Each structure stands twice: as C-alpha cells, then as structure tokens.
Amino acid sequence: MEEFQLTAIFLFVLFVLLGSGVWVGLALLGVAFVGMELFTTRPAGDAMITTIWSTSSSWTLTALPLFIWMGEILYRTRLSEDMFRGLAPWMAKLPGGLLHSNIVGCTLFAAVSGSSAATLTTVGKMSIPELRKRGYPENMVIGTLAGAATLGLMIPPSLTLIVYGVSINESITKLFMAGIIPGIVLASMFMLYIAAWSFIKKDEVPAPEPTMTFVEKMKESRFLIPVILLVMLVIGSMYFGLATATEAAAFGVVGALALAAGQGSLSLDTFIKSLMGATRTSAMIAFILAGAAFLSLSMGFTGLPRTLAAWIDSLQLTPTVLILALMVFYIVLGCFLDGISSVVLTMAIVEPMIRQAGIDVIWFGIFIVVVVEMAQITPPIGFNLFVLQGLTNHEMNYIAKAAIPMFLIMVVMVFVLIAFPGLATWLPENIRQVRH
C-alpha cells in the first residue's frame, strides 16, 4: 500500500500546484522537492541544483532552441504563399482538389519546423483564404488543416521527439529517422480521407481548377525549390551521417536566414522578433525539462517507478494491452496538458514500464508523438484548436467537430503502428547498419 500512498501524495501536490495556475516547470520542481524532503534523507536543495544544471547543460538539448529559431525565421518569410503557389497546380486534379494542399503543405513545412503551431499558422494563413475563395466546405478546410498541422510533431525536426529523446537518453537522430515513414503514412491516410470525401459528397466539391500544361506546372513549381533544398539540407545531413541533430539544426538556421534574405523578408526587426520568440519558447521547454529531471530523480530515490513497473508486470498485461491502456491515458492527459508537458511529466513512470514489457523505446517515441498529436485537436486544451480559432474566428465546438475525422484517423494510425512496428524501427536500424 505504501507505493499507492506515495503516488497519491505526488499526484495531490501536482494537481494542487497546476490547479493554482503555477507554471508547469515550477509545479514539477515543487512536487519533486516535497518528495525529496518527505521520503529521502538527501538534501533536496543540493539535489535540485545539481539536476537542473546537468539537464540544462546537455549538448543534445542544444538542437531544441536552434530548430525553434529556424521555425520562427521561416514563419516570418513568404514561405506559405510560395508553397501554396507551387503546390496548387499538382494538387488540383487529385480527388478532393486543393484540399490536398493543406496536407502536403503541412508535411513540407513540418520538415523544416518542429512545431505544430508554427506549421498550422504558416500554412493556414495562406490556404484558408484561398480555399474559401474557391468554395471548399469550411468544415473540410478547418478539419484537414487541424489534423495535418500535427505532422509538425512527427516529421523531423520534431520538438516533441527531442524532448522525449532527452528524457530517456536516446539518440535524437534515430528518433528523427523513425518519424519519417510514419509521418508520410499518416499524411497519406489524411489524403485518402479527402479523396473518399470527394467521392461520397460529390455535390460539395467545387468546380475544378483551370487546366495547366506540364510546362506551366513546372514553372510554378520553382517556388517549392527553396523549402525542398532546406529539407534536404536538414534531414539529409542527419540521414547520411554528416551531422548530428544539433549540427543539422545549425545548418537549418543558416539556411532559413539565407532563404529569408533571398525573399527580401529578413530585416533587423524580423531577426530580433524571431530570436526573441525562439528564446521564450526554448526557455519554457527547458524549464519544464529541468523540473521533470528533478521529479525523475526524486521518484528514483523513493523507488516509486520501480514499484509501479513491478506492479504493472504482475498484472501480466501483454505489450499490446499496455500500449492501448497508455493510449487512453495519454489522450485523457492531453485534454489538460500540452504535448511536451505530458511527455516529460510521465516518462519517469512510463519508461520502466515499457522497458519491462520489452517495448522498443524508439517505436514508443513515435507512438507517443501520435497520441500527443491527438491531444493537439481534443478540447478543452487542444492547442491547435485555439490557433485555428484565432485564424478563422469560429466557435471552439465547430472547430473540434471538424477535427473529429482526423482524430479518428490518428487512432487508426496507432493500430497500424502496432500491426507494423517496422514502420518506425526499420529506418533507424538501416541507418545504423549503413554507418557500421
């Protein structure tokens, strides 16, 4: 019974702190401090200072502010306008028409931005007016954009995967590689949904776009060249072993600055705003990670994670049942916390469980990202819903209903990952073999 009392005390303190409006990072530090003081003999202050310093000075974590800065720079360029212009000629003849530009546009921008919100804002500010002008149903415009923007969390560079990798001390590059194939599969599932909608509700599909010759399409495609080159620079440098995740992030920042300068959208004001935006976001995430690291240490001293892992093991759950239980758990948790907080808050408990069950930690990272993606579009705290509300001025209920089909597709994606784990593990294993 002692471990359940410990769990109850930890949860009580955590929810009191979160409920009182305290920052997530401070709430985690507070819970850990209480745990250290009540249940261990080690001085809590000394342990907290040491843990925060060792976490904050991690070289791996350097990739985080760099990728955030890259996304901030690109957000302030004309990238979204150029992407829509380059994609539209190729998307127009697909079943469902230009709605596919939401999916492909988000997939492309996700490959140069680790943030779901940045992906949604950048693609949405251009595609929403264009699709409305052409008469596409509002619920499809909003729903597809809400779902596709979550690809910013999976397709590398992904902030969530960086945080997960730092939390469990796993290679960021391997996790990035693991996200590529599932990200493409999920984007394809979204596109299949649009195609199915266009066949079922033919009366809602607008009139087709004017036909363009192949030469005209190629001419418009020149607007996609900058973003494709940037994707190749960032992901290619990691894939071929030329750069670590941190070095690739530095390449990405330089490439984004060059792209912004080339478009004429890089000014001193833009530079300072991008830098300050990246600093604020990075400081927030680093603070949460520091709190989570101290909480992990505190729980380690109490023995709570080991005890809970042993209890889970005694239930004799199969790995699949454990994964499904964790899926429900993370969906519920995601209704109240943002994705990064959900990951760092639970890893101290969940990591021993999945290792005990023999679940591959790289595969589990991709699973975590899919369920965190679901949380981005579930009320009341679905962050993408708030961003869309700002872009479209619709009621939250309307946006949430429009996003339901995309949520269900992500649930299907979890089962696809369970049935075909190689989707996440094949590429990292293959890269390792190539390097050796």
User: How far is it, in rounded angstroms, from Cα 153 to Cα 116?
Assistant: 6
Is the model's pLDDT at 433 over the cut of 70? no
pTM exceeds 0.85, yes or no: no
Q: What is the pLDDT of residue 155?
A: 84
Is the model's pLDDT at 116 over the cut of 60? yes
Interval 150-203: pLDDT, tens: 887 788 878 788 888 888 888 888 888 898 899 999 999 999 999 999 888 888
Is the model's pLDDT at 431 over the cut of 70? no
* pLDDT winner (highest mean) among 7-11, 17-21, 37-41, 201-205: 201-205
How many domains does the chain fold into? 1
- Provide the residue range defining the domain that includes 430: 2-435
Looking at residues 327-350, what average pLDDT do you find? 75
Q: What is the pLDDT of residue 436?
A: 38
pLDDT > 70 in the chain, percent: 88
Q: Determine contact, residues 84/126, Cβ cutoff 8 Å.
A: yes
Mean pLDDT of the residues in the chain:
79
Which is nearest to 109 in space by CA: 139, 138, 84?
A: 84
Is the model's pLDDT at 252 over the cut of 50? yes
Distances (CA, A) of 94 to 63, 194, 198, 269: 37, 10, 10, 40
User: How far is it, in rounded angstroms, from Cα 281 to Cα 64?
Assistant: 10
